[in-house]
Chains A and B, each alone.
Chain A
């Protein structure tokens, strides 16, 4: 997320250079991807929904630098009793809160320069003054809003409900979207107006002729929003915020601030309605100094623990001894456990003040290491025998699939491959080694002696995927019968049992020389080699490794 620095300065009186600010933020609060004179680009964190807003970032800067906040909370109480706009919520599990304000007397025009720059620095495009208010508020507060053209909304009603199966809506991007009963919509008495939390509808967007809007502020079931957004392939700035967590307190502040902005554009609030549960439920968490010290390995004073949490706007009440009841501020939805509090104390204390301490002598439960040692020693033996270790992808490339002409039913299949090159997992290692051999022959090598130890993936009789370690060797030497040389290798490595016992693993005779095969060794059929562009002979070995972890 991009944060406009000019704008940030209006919210918090910090005196740092952008570079210094970026450094402080990334060491104590949130990662900074990029910084310029105009903006900071912050990492997206998946827990701190509050940091998806300039106000949230401003609050962190106050804690980090000790400077002052330059904004105060707005509230709705200033408004006299006005008529209520009709709102209906089908179930609070869909949407715990829904606010609508009717604002008249507006006129669509381009936004002034300051708004345009604020939006641009935050990576958004100015649309027009009425729409820009909603985006500016979203950026500042983290609360998405939507302005409907009042004339297009039948009966001025905002109804929150699940979509009907196969219900359709044309979204702002002009596309027809098919909805189903897992989607939430805002609707009027006739039609859906907005795919809740995802994107508004084209029919009801603010138009050149719009003079009255219905401004809506909502919270929705985040899981449903996420599913809808994924299904429709629509990830917007708004849907991100709806999923990452919103609060009612902040919603009401954002709503009030937006109404003020519309009033500054000459609008007049003529009706308003707030429905649902309007208050956030505070959490209470127990914190002990003992746990702080235990987890961090660091002696931090009680005073510091209390003061750092207070700086972060936590309410701390002593329970006697070094134990406290801590109530997080409404905007910290990420705080649920004692450990979450300890993280906040630690980062304010400064991670750089943690001195390393060796692990105390504890004897861990024994885990059998013999397989890992066996693998390494085997690799070393193969290397000493003059082979080069290769590691290849866990997939069959299209070239391999084509050369093997294999029954794909037997392969483990990827449901969502990136491309045809990652659609099937390798059942054997040797085909990948033959592919590598071909590549190296083309690069001018005349002698290729390579091995790989890695996993192969099969399906069992029920089709369930299985995996096991395999060793494969490929040899292309100066002879027309490389098997003669390859056969000497297992003997020298103490693997000569495979000359007799190990059958070729799950592979049909078509793939190998009709005469030259024994146990787990074979000359690859010329037909297969030719498909890899290899005109010479290649012998391979593949065995399942006897020991498993």
Chain B
């Protein structure tokens, strides 16, 4: 048995040494470690050995197995390095010019949805305004009536930027947790009336699973002006829900606390999947939660240099990823950002 093992080594080490291509190495690897490879099959014969023999043969076998594995991977590296060197001999050629292959292109589902919603609100005079992803605490929290050390901060699990090499206090720079940072950035410019929207990426400290992601989209609108009312908010809610979920959809307001609005409401949609009768999607209630909204809080005006007595405003935000999942029966949120072409090319 020991001879057999040594023989394998004697046979294969020179083969490995003389190989010059990755293909040859792959062949050798298969011959050794494949399903019926020499190394793979050998332990099957150990059962015939006496205990004493096995104690000798076992370690030897393992050692030689390791030697062969190492030899192959070292050689692979060497062959690769030669290939890398030979790249020097390759040319930058454009002749003959090569035409683009014919393929069917696809826009990401989120881009298609964004276009749909943005067009919908553009009809009402809304304009896009995107704010930074890496944001100051001021715009993401403080201006939005979320003071430091207030318990409401717990509503957002936040990813902070490492500022140890910067002249910024720790905790002052973060990855924005919502698109709402666009309102203070726009409001402080003082150009009222505002009718703006943003469909963009946000971040949370959240482990990724089928329903949660640390990176996700939000769509949000904000209106600031004179005589902006909750009745307007209701109209805009129905307008959006009907457009994206069908004519049957309608909104329902529930009291809900968000520090940057007062009154604040949670918005449910009539469940269009069961026509409000109750199903799995709406947990049997006939309604499902879709958005958060409200009338912009007076403290937000004050923080951005506007007079809260002069203006009223509304804001409305929701997570498009979740709606897309509902509409298309997508079971896993990770499909959106992991680039699986089977998924992306379905739409």
Contact = CB atoms under 8 A, between A and B. Distances in A.
A515 B84 CA distance: 12
A359 B196 contact: no
Interface in B171-205: 173, 175, 186, 191-196, 201, 203, 205
A308 to B, nearest CB: 13
Contact of A484 (B97, B125, B163, B297): B97
A530 interface: yes
A376 B225 CA distance: 29
A240 to B, nearest CB: 8
A457 B127 contact: no
B210 interface: no
A9 interface: no
A380 B93 contact: no
B337 interface: yes
A382 interface: yes
Interface string A154-193: 0000000000000000000000000000000000000000
A463 B134 CA distance: 14
Contact of B84 (A226, A433, A463, A526): A526
Interface string B92-127: 111001111111111110110001001000001111
A514 B163 contact: no
B161 interface: yes
A489 B105 CA distance: 13
Contact of A379 (B107, B227, B253, B266): B107
B309 to A, nearest CB: 9
Given A354-B231, A436-B338, A415 B92 contact: no
A294 interface: yes
B91 A515 contact: yes
Interface string A378-406: 01101111111111111100000000000
Interface stretch (B46-54, B58-66, B232-240): B232-240
B45 interface: no
Contacts, number: 298
Interface stretch (A69-77, A263-271, A364-372): A364-372
Nearest to A364: B195
B36 interface: no
Contacts of A240: 151
B90 A385 contact: no
Given A244-B151, A365-B191, A390 B297 contact: no
Interface stretch (A93-101, A105-113, A197-205, A343-351): A343-351
A244 B134 CA distance: 30
Contacts of A422: 159, 214
Name the residue among B91, B133, B192 with the largest chain A CB count within 10 angstroms: B133
B194 A390 contact: no
A46 interface: yes
Contacts of A363: 125, 193
A391 B108 contact: yes
A413 interface: yes
A465 B263 contact: no
Contact of A513 (B87, B235, B336): B87
Interface in B13-72: 22
A11 interface: no
Contact of A298 (B195, B227, B229, B253): B229
Contacts of A383: 105-107
B235 A356 contact: yes
Contacts of B90: 481, 513, 515-516
B134 A467 contact: yes
A369 B127 CA distance: 7
Contact of B128 (A23, A369, A515): A369
Interface residues of B, number: 111
A351 B265 contact: yes
A388 B341 contact: yes
A276 to B, nearest CB: 22
Nearest to B166: A463
B140 interface: no
B254 A31 contact: yes
Nearest to A535: B22
Given A27-B254, A392-B339, A297 B92 contact: no
Interface string A441-480: 0010101111000110100001111010000000001010
Contact of A445 (B124, B159, B341): B341
Contacts of B234: 354-357
Contact of A359 (B214, B236, B295): B236
Interface stretch (A122-130, A321-329, A334-342): A334-342
B252 interface: yes
A492 B257 CA distance: 51
The 9 closest A-B pairs by CB, nearest first: A297-B229, A297-B231, A386-B103, A356-B235, A436-B339, A343-B263, A351-B253, A383-B105, A364-B195
13 contacts: A295-B229, A342-B263, A362-B195, A386-B101, A386-B102, A387-B105, A413-B162, A425-B134, A449-B101, A481-B93, A515-B90, A515-B91, A549-B130
Given A343-B262, A359-B228, 13 more contacts: A30-B255, A351-B255, A364-B193, A367-B127, A392-B337, A392-B338, A394-B175, A416-B160, A422-B214, A443-B341, A477-B101, A479-B98, A514-B88
Interface of B: 22, 80, 83-84, 87-88, 90-94, 97-108, 110-111, 115, 118, 124-130, 132-134, 149-152, 154-155, 159-168, 170, 173, 175, 186, 191-196, 201, 203, 205-207, 214-215, 223, 225-232, 234-239, 252-257, 259, 262-266, 285, 295, 297-298, 312, 336-342, 344-345
